[in-house]
Amino acid sequence: MVVDEDALLAEQKSFYRARAAEYDEWWQRRGHYDRGEQELVEWQHQVGILDAALNAFGARGNVLELAGGTGWWTQRLAETADHLTVVDSSPETLALNRERVGRPDVHYEVADLFDWHPDSPYDVVFFSFWLSHVPRARFGDFWALVRACLNPNGRVFLIDNRNDPLGGSSARDPYVVEYGTDMHLRTLGDGSRYRVVKVMYEPDELESLIATEGWSVEIESTQWFIFGSVRHA
């Protein structure tokens, strides 16, 4: 089936605007995402691994966060960055981000990342749970954008989902109505449905693809997450 990619990306953008108020239920494992105390403890353990890895990476200097969402990672970046810029296509999620972070020195910009270009270079680019929403056909263009965002010694840190290799209950999202090839059909609490891009990379595959774009990359993983650092080769 031929997919109108522009229409799909517009639908994805609308989904995240509409989902803003519900997003943290997934991250905090509340409501329909609550799988009990044991899985919550494991989830928090794996999030702690991500947190420690980002802390060891040291996002300092002039930092850019792409697709900043509701601000869980923005909070952490603001603790180490000398200056932090957050870009997201959803004003609704950025409003929640501002409230959570509570820092007047953080600069926010509402922009579609498929059309956006930086005004100045950054020391660090960070993005979480975003690369999986970039269509495979635009993978190279996205990394060209990242390169344009960085100064010559700049670095990247990324976090994303991983298919659960153990096939546990957390592998499936109760709001995904249909799993397609690199795509999900998702629903919201009000019953509305949206298609979104969802490319689920395995660690070795992602490392290879990024290296092919001319980067030096180290990708690690937990049961549910992929994360790692990237820099100019």
Which pLDDT value is given to residue 165?
Answer: 78
In a domain, 39, yes or no: no
Q: Tens-digit pLDDT profile for the chain (233 aa)?
A: 677 999 999 999 999 999 999 999 999 999 989 999 999 999 999 999 999 999 999 999 999 999 999 999 999 999 999 999 999 999 999 999 999 999 999 999 999 999 999 999 999 999 999 999 999 999 999 999 999 999 999 999 999 999 887 766 555 688 999 999 999 999 999 999 999 999 999 999 999 999 999 999 999 999 999 999 999 98
In a domain, 219, yes or no: yes
- In sequence order, what E strands does the chain have? 62-66, 83-88, 107-110, 122-128, 150-161, 176-180, 183-187, 193-197, 215-221, 225-232
* Residue 109 structure tokens: 């910009």
Which pLDDT value is given to residue 135?
Answer: 97
Burial class (CB in 10 A: 0-12, 13-18, 19+), 75: middle
Which pLDDT value is given to residue 40?
Answer: 94
In a domain, 118, yes or no: yes
Residue entry with tokens 């990306």: 9
In a domain, 210, yes or no: yes
Which pLDDT value is given to residue 3?
Answer: 79
In a domain, 168, yes or no: no
In a domain, 225, yes or no: yes
Q: How many domains does the chain have?
A: 1
In a domain, 63, yes or no: no
200: containing domain = 5-27+68-162+174-232
Which pLDDT value is given to residue 97?
Answer: 98
Which residues are within 8 A (CB) of 33 and not within 5 positions of it... i.e. 6 or more apart? 25, 26, 173, 174
In a domain, 40, yes or no: no
Residue 149: CATH number of its domain: 3.40.50.150
